[in-house]
Each structure stands twice: as structure tokens, then as C-alpha cells.
Structure 1
Amino acid sequence: MSRNKSGRKRMKYLITGGAGNIACQLTHRLPEDAQVILTDVADAPFSEVTSNAVYRKLDVTCEQSVLDAFVEVQPDVVLHFASLLSGQSEADRNAAWQVNMQGAFHVLESALKENVDRVVFLSSIASFGSPLPDPVPEDCEQWPRGFYGFTKAAIERMGFYYKESLGLDFRSIRLPIVISAFPSPGAASSYASNMFIEAVRNGTYQLQIRETSNPALIYIDDCLKAIDLLTHANKDSLTRASYNLFSCSPTAADIAIEIKHVITDSEFIFEPIPKVADLIDSWPRRIDDAAARRDWGWKPDFQLAEMTREFISTLQCLNAEGGL
């Protein structure tokens, strides 16, 4: 057992989907003395990680490989982020089934066998579908319109089974669209991040959604804060397996206006593609996240105006350094 200088056990975190944007940035919020093992199929992490993080290749669709990794690492906490996103899932349902569904099953089975303390799963507001009440309540029925959302809803149910029937500490958070400097090229939801990125990089951006589209959004800093809070919340304070999360839900036109306040000559062109626009419009707008606020102290720090100023400043620095 590895311990730090104070004699306290050093926590081990194993993160699947560890080459991705959220996983890489989360390493900067985890305890400095922790051992962080990032795993993914890519050759290297997508962005910078902390010095206490190591990277190893792992394909979650291979049951034996997942179990071998758990046996070797003996993690205390597993953060299961590996997933094909919305656009990729629609384009290749078989691959999405293997990565999302089979991958989650392999992770949960291995966690159970190796006595992992807790498993944190990233779900999505895409798990709901439409039509929906506004705001969406905590226990709203989930009938997703996309294959990606279906897998997220199904894994929530699978995790609930492992929690209630088998005693595994499974925790899930339904992320809104995340605004980040490193959006996935395979996600329909990347439009929101790309509005900011392309405004800084090129001054213009063409969108495939409607001006009125306003699914729930969250800034990356708030996203990481929420994952951190849920991961480290006292088990006895949790009243449910899956939690809603809400920050803001501006329309695409509102985002464009706010960006123009900072980058006055930026231009946004709306050329909706019905299949893409309808998918985005099927996602929740306002979401009841009272349980997260009550159980583990969730509260967003960024609304649209604050997010815009902070994010554009970050992007301008990245662009100047050639990293955008």
C-alpha cells in the first residue's frame, strides 16, 4: 500500500477515456499526491496532464484487458469516461454498442471483482429525449432520440443494478453540453464550443443548428468542479445513483451576441441541417438539479457572460501560443 508523507493512503484513480479532454483536465483537480492512471486507445493524451498522471493504452471493449488493468492497478476510484459520442454513435451503432455498452459492462464487472471503492460514470442530458417538461425533473422518464443517448440511459440503469443489487458504489452525473477548448470532432454538441473557438481563430463560424436552439450548457471549469464534488462526496450523503446538473441554457443566437460583445467583428451563419438541428433541439433546456445542490454542494460559478469573457481570454492565449 502506498502512503504519502503524512501516512495517509495515496488514492489511486483509474480513468477510462483518459486521452480525452475532460479526463486530461480533471487530472489538474485531483489530489496532488494521488496516483492517476489514464487509459484509452489513443497513442497519447489529447492535452496536457499533471506529473502524477501516467498513461497506458486500454481498449474497454476487451473484457480480459480491462480486468488485467484492474488487477494490476488496484484502483480505489474508477472514473469511466470512455465513450463514442453522439455523431460517432449515430454513424456506427455497432461500434457504439461495443465501446459504450460492452465497455461499461466490462468496467463494472472488473470493479466488482477487484473491490473498487467507487465508480463514477459520465452520463449526458442526451439520455432524456423529447418531448420534455421544462424544467426536466430528477426522475423524468428517459426516452432518448439518439443511439448515444440510449447507451447513456441504459448504462445508468445498469449502474443502478450494480449499486442496489450487488453493493457497488456507482455514481453518475448527467452532463449538459460542455464548453471547452478541445471539443470532440465527433459530437453534434461541439457547435457551442466551436462558436467561441472559430470566432477567435477565424472570426466566423457556420452552424448546422437553429438560432433558437438552447440545450443546457456548462463551462468546462464548472464541469470539472461537479465531477470532483461528486467523486469525493461522502457515500452516506448521496440519495440517488444518477444526478442532474444545470448551469445555463442560452440560445445559439444569445451565444453569438455575447461573443460579439467581446469580438465585435465576429460573424455567425446559421444553415440548419434538420437531422442535426432536431437532435440538438430534443435535448433538455432547463434541468432540476436540486439533488446535486443538496447532496454534494453543487453550484455553478459561470453563467453565459462570465463564461464568454473567461473562455475567450483562454482561447486568445492558446491562439497566441499556437495551441488552438
Structure 2
Amino acid sequence: MPKVLIIGAGGQIGSELTFKLKDIHGSENVVASDIGYHNLEVVNSGIFEIVDAQDYNSIKICVEKHNIDTIYLMAAMLSATGEKYPMKAWDLNMNSLFHVLNLAKDGFIKRIFWPSSIAVFGPTTPTENTPQHTIMEPTTVYGITKQVGERWCEYYHKKYDVDVRSIRYPGIISWKTMPGGGTTDYAVEIYHQAILDKHYDCFLSEHTELPMMFMDDAINATVNLMQAPAEQVKIRSSYNLGAISFTPLTISEEIKKHIPDFKITYSPDYRQQIADSWPKSIDDSAAREDWNWNHEFNLEKMTTEMLKQLGRKYQDSEINS
């Protein structure tokens, strides 16, 4: 049974991935870690360590202490936050990747998962069914770090036979955790505000179409890629991953089927320029062919699940307050 370390386990994807991996491998074989104790649900769920993703020795000590052979590196500064703190984003996103790649190169671990993003694409990339291999000229610090990271992952695989695997995540939507400073965050916030206020003021324009994915699909894709035989993982930079694409207007109309008096307004801000540089839809045929990727949630099913779960969450919060 592999011993797994999740770095950045307190984040939006990292937290849900942690619980999924505990279900698969057993809680005793999964070590959650983060820079602090900010996600107590994760901290109290089993083995937890404080690990600084930018400190090679911090990671290495944890790896040796728990005999880790697989690392999921989920720590990162996302697109919108990265534009506010460009050098911090570069340092965190790049240093953490090099530390983990070098641990694998030197034989301390056997396998790595590192997430990339649709942010690797830019305004010169074809926006409809964006191909696996295409022009990449990202315009954000986050996108630049992910594009560079992809190149280093492929380099370490070819040069040092490092078993590193990666997915270009689209926007991720979850009811369990709040988003962490990304340009697609509106697609989570809108559900919360629909229940709380029946109104949402969106920071993107109504016709801004972006690729999105429900969290359950993103977690399943991650696990499926990591469980695939090495010979099936033919792309070692990062796989395109798609599921659904929609606009703020489209999602608001779907919400109105459940909450008829919901209203949306639009106040585009600096994130609009970021969104305009990204694809509208993704060609993920390589992932579907190589390791049988397939998504389960469409917009209708996702909206039903989001409103149901958030409704329960806020009702429970009122009862306990």
C-alpha cells in the first residue's frame, strides 16, 4: 500500500482529495500537510504535519519520517491572487515543484501528482475545443508558472525517469470548501449568494464562457490518472481535462429553475481580462483515450447538487447558531 503525502491539504481541492485518498488507501497511509492549521476538518481527520512547500528540508523530513512514496503537490497561489503578489506566486509555485521533482530524482519518492491549469493558455490559443498541443502564451503569473512547470515535469520524466503526472484543471466547483482566489471563483460564489441573498453581483460579464468541472469529477480524474499503469500515461507535461462550459448567464438561468426570484448583476473587474485570455471549451480526447477519463456531472446535475448541499449546510448553520 503506497504511503501518500498531500502538500496543501487544507485548500479547496487538496482537502477533498485528502478524504478521497484516505478512503482508498486507509487513513494510516495518508499524511495531510499544510503551512498551518487553518482547515481543522483536515487537521483532525488523521495524520497531519506542518510542511512548508517552499522549504526542501521541511518536505524531505516529512517524507522520511512517514516513508512516503507518493506526493500530491496541491499548494499553489492561484490566478487572481497571483496578480496581486507576482513574486510570491512565482516563488511558491516554482520552488515547491522543484523540491518535489528533486526528491523523486534522488530516489526519496516514486510518484508525483502536480496540477496544472487552463491558465497555461493565452489570448493567442484557439478558444474552441482547445487542443492538447497548441500555442501557449499565458498572460498571468499563475499561467506562466504552470506553463514552465509543465516543461520541467516533462524534462524530469525524460531526463531522470521521474514518474510525474499532471492535469490541466478547468474551474473547479465545490460546495464543501470556498474557492481560493481564482478567476473562476464566481461559479462557486453564485450558488452561495443565490441561497443567502437571492442575488449575485458577478465580477465577469454575462457572456464569458469558461471550462468548468464539479469537484467530484476533478477528484475522480486525479485518482484515475494516478492509478493508471505508467505505459498508459503518454503525456508527461499535463493532460487537458474538460467537462462542461458555461457563462454566468447560463448558470444563473439554471439556478432560476430552482430559485425563480434569483437575480444576477454584472460588475466586471480585473479578472475579466484574465478570463478573456482563457479557452471557452477544452478538447480532452487524449485523457479519454489514454486512461479512460469521463465526467459525470453536467450543469443541470451540478446545480441540483450544489443547491441541495449548500441549502442543508446553511440550514444546519442556523440551527447550531
Normalising TM by the smaller chain, what interval?
over 0.9
Deviation, 1:131, is 2.8
**Alignment RMSD:** 1.8
Q: 2:288 is matched with which residue? A: 293
Amino acid at match of 1:124: S
Deviation, 1:185, is 4.2
The 10-residue stretch of structure 1 (314-323 or 217-226) with the greater mean CA deviation from structure 2: 314-323
Deviation, 1:116, is 1.7
Structure 1's 47 and 144: CA in aligned 2 closer, same or farther, altered over 3 A? farther
* Counterpart among 60, 66, 73 of residue 73 in structure 1: 66
* Distance in 1 between residues matched to 2:25 and 2:234, nearest whole Å: 29
Deviation, 1:237, is 1.1
Gaps of 5+ in 1: 1-9
Q: 2:17 is matched with which residue? A: 26
Q: 1:268 is matched with which residue? A: 264
* Distance in 2 between residues matched to 1:75 and 1:82, nearest whole Å: 17
Residue 120 of structure 2 contacts residue 146 of structure 2 at CA under 8 Å; is this kept in 1?
Answer: yes
Deviation, 1:76, is 2.0
Residue 208 of structure 1 contacts residue 276 of structure 1 at CA under 8 Å; is this kept in 2?
Answer: yes
Q: How does 1:154-173 map to 2 (within 5 A)?
A: 154-173=148-167
Structure 1's 61 and 49: CA in aligned 2 closer, same or farther, altered over 3 A? closer
* Counterpart among 37, 42, 58 of residue 51 in structure 2: 58
Q: 2:304 is matched with which residue? A: 309
Q: 1:140 is matched with which residue? A: 134
Structure 1's 253 and 49: CA in aligned 2 closer, same or farther, altered over 3 A? farther
* Distance in 2 between residues matched to 1:285 and 1:47, nearest whole Å: 35
Q: How does 1:226-245 map to 2 (within 5 A)?
A: 226-241=221-236, 242-245=238-241
Amino acid at match of 2:244: C
For 1:109-146, what per-residue CA distance to the aligned partner results, in whole angstroms no more than 9, with x for missing partners?
12322442210111100111113222111111221111
Residue 44 of structure 1 contacts residue 55 of structure 1 at CA under 8 Å; is this kept in 2?
Answer: no
Deviation, 1:42, is 2.1
- The runs of at least 4 consecutive aligned structure 1 residues that moved more than 3 Å come to 46-51
**Is it true that 1:174 corresponds to 2:168 in the alignment?**
yes
The 10-residue stretch of structure 1 (182-191 or 287-296) with the greater mean CA deviation from structure 2: 182-191
* Distance in 2 between residues matched to 1:198 and 1:251, nearest whole Å: 17
Residue 119 of structure 1 contacts residue 169 of structure 1 at CA under 8 Å; is this kept in 2?
Answer: yes
Residue 21 of structure 1 contacts residue 47 of structure 1 at CA under 8 Å; is this kept in 2?
Answer: no
Q: 1:99 is matched with which residue? A: 92
Residue 37 of structure 2 contacts residue 43 of structure 2 at CA under 8 Å; is this kept in 1?
Answer: no
How many pairs align?
A: 313
Deviation, 1:71, is 2.1
* Counterpart among 92, 107, 110 of residue 117 in structure 1: 110
Residue 215 of structure 1 contacts residue 251 of structure 1 at CA under 8 Å; is this kept in 2?
Answer: yes
Residue 90 of structure 2 contacts residue 142 of structure 2 at CA under 8 Å; is this kept in 1?
Answer: no
Q: 1:39 is matched with which residue? A: 33
Residue 18 of structure 2 contacts residue 32 of structure 2 at CA under 8 Å; is this kept in 1?
Answer: no
Amino acid at match of 1:276: R
Q: 1:258 is matched with which residue? A: 254
Residue 125 of structure 2 contacts residue 136 of structure 2 at CA under 8 Å; is this kept in 1?
Answer: no
The 10-residue stretch of structure 1 (61-70 or 220-229) with the greater mean CA deviation from structure 2: 61-70
Deviation, 1:50, is 8.5
Residue 25 of structure 1 contacts residue 49 of structure 1 at CA under 8 Å; is this kept in 2?
Answer: no
- Report % sequence identity: 31
* Counterpart among 222, 247, 259 of residue 243 in structure 2: 247
Deviation, 1:265, is 1.4
* Distance in 2 between residues matched to 1:280 and 1:42, nearest whole Å: 31
Amino acid at match of 1:113: D
Q: 1:90 is matched with which residue? A: 83
Residue 28 of structure 1 contacts residue 50 of structure 1 at CA under 8 Å; is this kept in 2?
Answer: no
Gaps of 5+ in 2: none
* Distance in 1 between residues matched to 2:48 and 2:261, nearest whole Å: 42
Structure 1's 299 and 50: CA in aligned 2 closer, same or farther, altered over 3 A? farther
Q: 1:12 is matched with which residue? A: 3
* Distance in 1 between residues matched to 2:200 and 2:107, nearest whole Å: 48
Amino acid at match of 2:201: Q
Residue 15 of structure 1 contacts residue 38 of structure 1 at CA under 8 Å; is this kept in 2?
Answer: yes
Q: TM-score if structure 1 supplies the norm length?
A: 0.92
User: Counting helix residues as a fraction of each chain, which structure ranks higher?
Assistant: 2
Amino acid at match of 2:258: V
